[in-house]
Each structure stands twice: as C-alpha cells, then as structure tokens.
Structure 1
Amino acid sequence: MARQPRPPHIVLSPEEQQRLTELARRRKTLRGLAARAQLILLSAEQPYTSLTQIGEQLGVCRHTVRTWRQRFVQDRIAGLRDAPKPGAPRKIQDDDVERLIRLTLDSVPANATHWTTRSMAQASGMTQNAVFRIWRAFGLRPHLSESFKLSQDPLFIEKVRDIVGLYLSPPAKALVLCVDEKPQIQALERNGGVFPMQPGEIEKRAHDYVRHGTTTLFAALNAQVGTVIGKCYPRHRSEEFKAFLEEVNQNVPADLDVHLILDNYVTHKAKVVQDWLVGHPRFQLHFTPTSGSWLNLVESWFALLTTRQLRRGSFISTQALETAIERYIQQTNEDPKPFTWTKTADQILESVARFCKRQLSRVEEQKYRETQE
C-alpha cells in the first residue's frame, strides 16, 4: 500500500496564533474545538514531531491528527469546526434560541412568578420538549431559587481572616472550639403507624405528633479532631451559656488556652459572661461576622445531628430527647471525624468579590435595558 504523503508544515500568522490560543484556553469553547485548536498549536510549535507523538500528547490517534491538520491547511480555522450534520435542516434557528433565552431571563409570565416549560412553550411558539432541551443546554432552571445574605459587618474582612486563620493554622498549646447553641429542639412524639421502606417505595409515616416540650443544646466542636462537648439546658440565656463555659473549662486540660469561635448572639456578650471571662483569662472569644454563621463549623455538626437523630426521631419527653442527643454525642466522640476547612481567607474574599461584581453587573444591565425600552 502506498504511503500517504505527510501534510506540509503548519505556519501560523500572528492573528491565527492568537485566535487558536483563545479557542484552546477559553472555558466556553466547545471541548472538541478546543482540542483541535490545541492540536494545531502543537503542530506549529513542533513541526518535526511525528503525528503519533503529537497524538500521544493529546490522547488521540495519528489519523485524527492527520485529518485535522489537513482540514486546517485547506480551510484554516474555519476547517476546525464541525461539518454540517446529515438529516433534516434545523427548525429552530440560533435567533429563535436567543429569543427564548432572553424571554426566560428578562421577563416573567403574567400569571406566575416564574416560567414553566408549558407556559414558555405557549409564549414562544415552541414545543415543551424544545424549551426543555434549550433550558438544559444553557443551564436555565426557572423553577429553582436560592436565597443569599451578604454580611454588612464593617469588620467582615478582619473577622474572616481571624477565624480562617484559626482553622488553617491553630496556635500552639491551644484548643480551638466552635461553639453555638441549638435552641428550641422539640420533643415530638410521632403518632400513627409507620410503613417501613420496601423495594420501590420510601418509608411512610403519619404526620401527626404530640409536643412534649423543648430543650436547648449547647455544643463545642473540636473541628480538628471531630469531638464534641455538649450539654442540654431548658433555656438559652446568658446564665446557661456561662454554665456551659464552666462545662468546657472542666473538659479542657488546664495547660491549654481555649479559643472559642461563636456568633454575635446577645447571650455571648452579656455582662455575666464578660465577668466570667475576666476570671478565666485562658479563654478568648472570636466572633463571626454578622450574617456569617457559615464560618462556624459547629453548624455542620448540628446539621448532621438533625438529619441522623432528630428529624425522624420520636420522643415521649424532653428527657428522652436529651438522652438521644447525649447518646449521639457519645457515639460521635467514640468515632470522631475531623471537619476540615479547605479555603483560605483570600479565596473566600475573592469569591465574595466576584459574586458582588457579578450581581452589580446584572443590576446595571437590567437598568440599561429598562432605559432602552
């Protein structure tokens, strides 16, 4: 069989070099097009490298390298794009897709707060299936909504750096504890039968219940180890918080300083607590920013407690509820799992800044559209 001639060396103009580099690096470039752009760049940078070696660098076969080199030599950058697919022509053109996306982003139906595939199909003249496919392709989910809260604390940056610093680089001869209370935990006795889980069916239970009072859990999480100091109290006043600090003091070795991470709840700053701290100088309090309780890792442990013990539990009294909580704390301490903080303070602040800039640009864009209308 005759050997196929090797495609000529690829020489790029400065404009082609810049354009191919953008296609290879830009996140929004289709994966296949980005790979082809990288293939051509490698071919131009390594003119005497074999097709097989270039293919090995990109994870493709030599035939693929040859094909796209030939396409580029023939049609330049335009030759790297997908050829038209066989079959019937498209009924929905790019302009139609753009119109539907703009309609989704810039308007709401007259009789609802958000679009559905059915209402959008009626408004756009497309089928529900077409609307669904376009929304999925562009990541549009009008039926979902999330809430957010930006901290207005003037010391937000300083507090973030302080707390994250304690997580990532705790001080020597000191113990860092994440402290908070989970108030008003209801002792609910579930009435009615329970139909256990079956193949193809989830567990079903009656929604009737009887309240038997409430309790408040104070907890201190050692995030590095995963152990918890916890105690239940009937109320969550400053007196109870002071009593819990005494509990922590008794459970922490006397030769260690204690750094407590907690929120800005008034109980934590009461005079009786301040007086107690004066008599216990090894305790230092670090407050999270206002509306920044997500910085306190004990909230993650509270979520586990709720999911695994409280949400589906049935308790005939507050004593039974507290016994279940104490049992869960004991099991946690017998087999602790560390709560590892991964992001640095700079990464968090950069993320917040990006979010603010993105939201600000959206507001400005919306105002501009309103002025144009």
Structure 2
Amino acid sequence: MKYAPPIELTDEERSTLEQTVRTRTAPQRDLLRARIILAAAEGKMNREIAAALGCSLPTVGLWRTRFAKHRLEGLKEAPRSGRPRTYGPDKVSAIVAQTLTPPEPRTHWSTRRLAQAQGVSHMTVHRIWRRYQLQPHRVETFKYSRDPELEAKVVDIVGLYLHPPGNALVLCVDEKSQIQAINRTQPLLPLRPGQVERRSHDYERHGTVTLFAALNLATGEVEGECYRRHRHQEFLRFLRRLDKTHPDGEMHLILDNYATHKHPTVKRWLQRHPRFTLHFTPTGASWLNLVEIWFGILQSQALRRGNFYDVDMLVATIRRFIEAWKEDAKPFVWVKTPDQILAKARPRER
C-alpha cells in the first residue's frame, strides 16, 4: 500500500473542520469528510481511518486527495449538470406574459388551461409559476383611507404604541357587534382519529349580543362587557365601568369613528371627566386598533365553532374566554413606524 503523508492544516482550516463536526444539523457526508481530514492531520493511515469511521478505503483516499489538491473547496459537492431544460427563455417569457393577461371571459388562468394554450404540460406551467411567484388563483383586497387627517392620526396612535406615556393607561377600545348565538340543527360529530370534527350546515339563531372590549396596551389583558344593543347608551355604560375600574391617572382610549363614540351625550360626559383622552383611528383604518387582533382570536378560538342554545350561553362563553385570557395575557408588540404605514396607506399614483 502506498504511504500517504500526513496532512498539514492551517489554524483556519482546522477551526472550520472542527466546527463542521460539532454542528448537529450538518449533512452526514460533510461530517464524514471533515472527520477523515482531521484524522489524516493526526498522522493516521487510510486503513486506520476507514476502520474507525466505518467507510471504505477508496473513500478515505478520495477525500484526502481532493483536500490535498483543492483544500477546503475540494470537500464540497461538485456541481452537477442535471437534466437540461426542455423549454428555453423565450417559451418561459411567453408563459409568464400570458399568465398576466386574463383569458376572456374568465378572470384568471389555471395551470391546465394555460398549458393547453401554450402546448406544454401543466407541471411545466406550475414550475414556472413557482419560480416567478405567480399565483393567479389568489386575490387580496386593500382599501386606501381618504381621511384628510390620515397622517396626523397615524402618527398619534402609533406614537402611543411605540412610546406610551409612563404615567397613563392606554386602552384599545372597540365593539364586536352582532355576535350570533347559533345552535346547529344536528348534534356535533366530534374529532376522532381519521375524521375531522363535523357539524351540520344549517342552524337556528337565538339572538345576538354586542361585546364592548378594552385591551390594555401594557399588559395585554382584556376587560369586556356584553350588551344586547349597540348604542351610545351602552358605550357610555362601558366608559363608566372603565372609570370605576381604573379610578386614578390619565387614560388614553384608541377608538374608531363609529357614531356612538362621538354622540353629544358621550362628549358631555367626557368634558366632565377630563382624564379621558380619545384617539380616533383614520376613516377606513380600524385595523390600526390593536383590539381588532384580539377580536380575531376570540372569533377563531371560541365563537366560530361554538354551539349556543341561547344568548346567555354565548355571553357566558365570552366571559370565560376573557378570564382565561387574563391568566396568560401578553401584550401585542407594535413594530411598524408611522412612515412605514403611511407609505402603504396612501393611494399610489398611476
């Protein structure tokens, strides 16, 4: 057997190889190659290395030779040619261009319909769509706020989120109206192995309630109250509750532009309670209110799949959810600056 001299490693090469060996997520082929070179640097023979690492003698010789010629680059996988592309760039451009042009009278292409039009397979169209991140079957909605005070309101509310006043309480307040007490006409078929939860399509409606809720910006806790109606009287009752629950200090309430929030009776009450300061979201931008996120969580985790025989049962469920939320409440963290929001909130010039 031909003698293979020891491999001399630089400090950088040794550090790189040892780091590869310590990395748990490294591919096994990379671990093996690094161990072969480290063992060779210790002066071990090929046969000894092969026996210790459980690999063949030609494998050890191959990677020692590659490392001797190309150093660390020699341990990397050589690029493979792979299967040549069936269609050239002109065909790809034609498929992309036709994807962007809806086929009359339809609103968008499907992979099979476009494949038939272009004379290719639907998998070819699928791969090209994935490469260029094209998803004709999807659509998203957007809405630009036309509020003339858009910038001032965004700066005001986001300023409260990013830099809340130290000695004041910030509450995100809103109403979730028309929550339905729905009872399915047939018993629920529960989740079990091999079968998802199933429920009947038709249902009976047993009334609605409106939930008034306030999200504490600092703690993430929520306090709420359910009322049968959605008027300024109910909103005023909720304000009085907040006044009683938090008797001291300034309070900043973030609200949308619903008429009940600006009713003359509510305004007169606020004048008598100057520690309350109201901050209104821009028109058509109620998503700026963080309590909307919590409403979405309530809907998905407690209401959407619930079954309620009457309004009282619905209200009890909402109250239990609020109490459970308080036990593990965490604040929502706002990260967007006013400039980042305004860059997307303003209509784009065409």
Q: TM-score range by the shorter chain?
A: 0.7 to 0.9
User: How much does 1:199 deviate?
Assistant: 2.4
1:263–1:288 Cα contact (<8 Å) kept: yes
CA distance in structure 1 between the partners assigned to 2:191 and 2:277 by the alignment: 48
Which of 327, 340, 349 pairs up with 1:347?
340
CA distance in structure 1 between the partners assigned to 2:179 and 2:79 by the alignment: 63
1:216–1:236 Cα contact (<8 Å) kept: yes
Aligned to 1:299: 292
The residue type paired with residue 271 of structure 1 is P
* Counterpart mapping for 1:1-373 below 5 A: 52=13, 63=70, 85=81, 87=83, 89-105=84-100, 107-252=101-246, 254-352=247-345, 360=349
User: How much does 1:156 deviate?
Assistant: 1.3
CA distance in structure 2 between the partners assigned to 1:184 and 1:257 by the alignment: 31
The residue type paired with residue 255 of structure 1 is D
User: How much does 1:312 deviate?
Assistant: 1.0
The residue type paired with residue 294 of structure 2 is W
User: How much does 1:2 deviate?
Assistant: 10
CA distance in structure 2 between the partners assigned to 1:54 and 1:150 by the alignment: 55
1:109–1:119 Cα contact (<8 Å) kept: no
CA distance in structure 2 between the partners assigned to 1:51 and 1:258 by the alignment: 60
Q: Which whole-Å deviations, capped at 9, do the CAs of 1:181-227 have from their partners, x for residues lacking one?
A: 01111111122122222223211111221111111111111022111
User: How much does 1:146 deviate?
Assistant: 0.3
User: How much does 1:229 deviate?
Assistant: 1.7
2:253–2:278 Cα contact (<8 Å) kept: yes
Which TM-score applies when normalising by structure 1?
0.72
Aligned to 1:19: none
2:145–2:345 Cα contact (<8 Å) kept: no
CA distance in structure 2 between the partners assigned to 1:269 and 1:283 by the alignment: 14
CA distance in structure 1 between the partners assigned to 2:241 and 2:12 by the alignment: 71
* C-alpha RMSD of matched pairs (Å): 2.8
The residue type paired with residue 90 of structure 1 is R
User: Relative to structure 1, is the Cα distance of residues 124 and 55 closer, same or farther in structure 2, using a 3 angstrom cutoff?
Assistant: farther
1:217–1:231 Cα contact (<8 Å) kept: yes
User: Relative to structure 1, is the Cα distance of residues 86 and 177 closer, same or farther in structure 2, using a 3 angstrom cutoff?
Assistant: closer
CA distance in structure 1 between the partners assigned to 2:265 and 2:344 by the alignment: 38
Give the unaligned 5+ runs of structure 1: 4-48, 68-81, 364-373
Which TM-score applies when normalising by structure 2?
0.77
Q: Percent identity?
A: 49
User: Relative to structure 1, is the Cα distance of residues 274 and 121 closer, same or farther in structure 2, using a 3 angstrom cutoff?
Assistant: same
- How many pairs does the alignment contain? 296
CA distance in structure 1 between the partners assigned to 2:136 and 2:81 by the alignment: 31
CA distance in structure 2 between the partners assigned to 1:84 and 1:284 by the alignment: 67
1:173–1:255 Cα contact (<8 Å) kept: no
CA distance in structure 1 between the partners assigned to 2:11 and 2:118 by the alignment: 52
2:112–2:122 Cα contact (<8 Å) kept: yes
User: How much does 1:319 deviate?
Assistant: 1.3
Q: Which whole-Å deviations, capped at 9, do the CAs of 1:145-195 have from their partners, x for residues lacking one?
A: 000011111221111111111111111221000000011111111221222
CA distance in structure 1 between the partners assigned to 2:14 and 2:339 by the alignment: 41
User: How much does 1:53 deviate?
Assistant: 9.5
User: Relative to structure 1, is the Cα distance of residues 282 and 64 closer, same or farther in structure 2, using a 3 angstrom cutoff?
Assistant: farther
CA distance in structure 2 between the partners assigned to 1:211 and 1:333 by the alignment: 30
2:115–2:121 Cα contact (<8 Å) kept: yes
User: How much does 1:304 deviate?
Assistant: 0.9
SS of the counterpart of 1:277? helix
Give the unaligned 5+ runs of structure 2: 21-29, 35-66
CA distance in structure 1 between the partners assigned to 2:71 and 2:98 by the alignment: 41
SS of the counterpart of 1:194? coil
SS of the counterpart of 2:102? coil
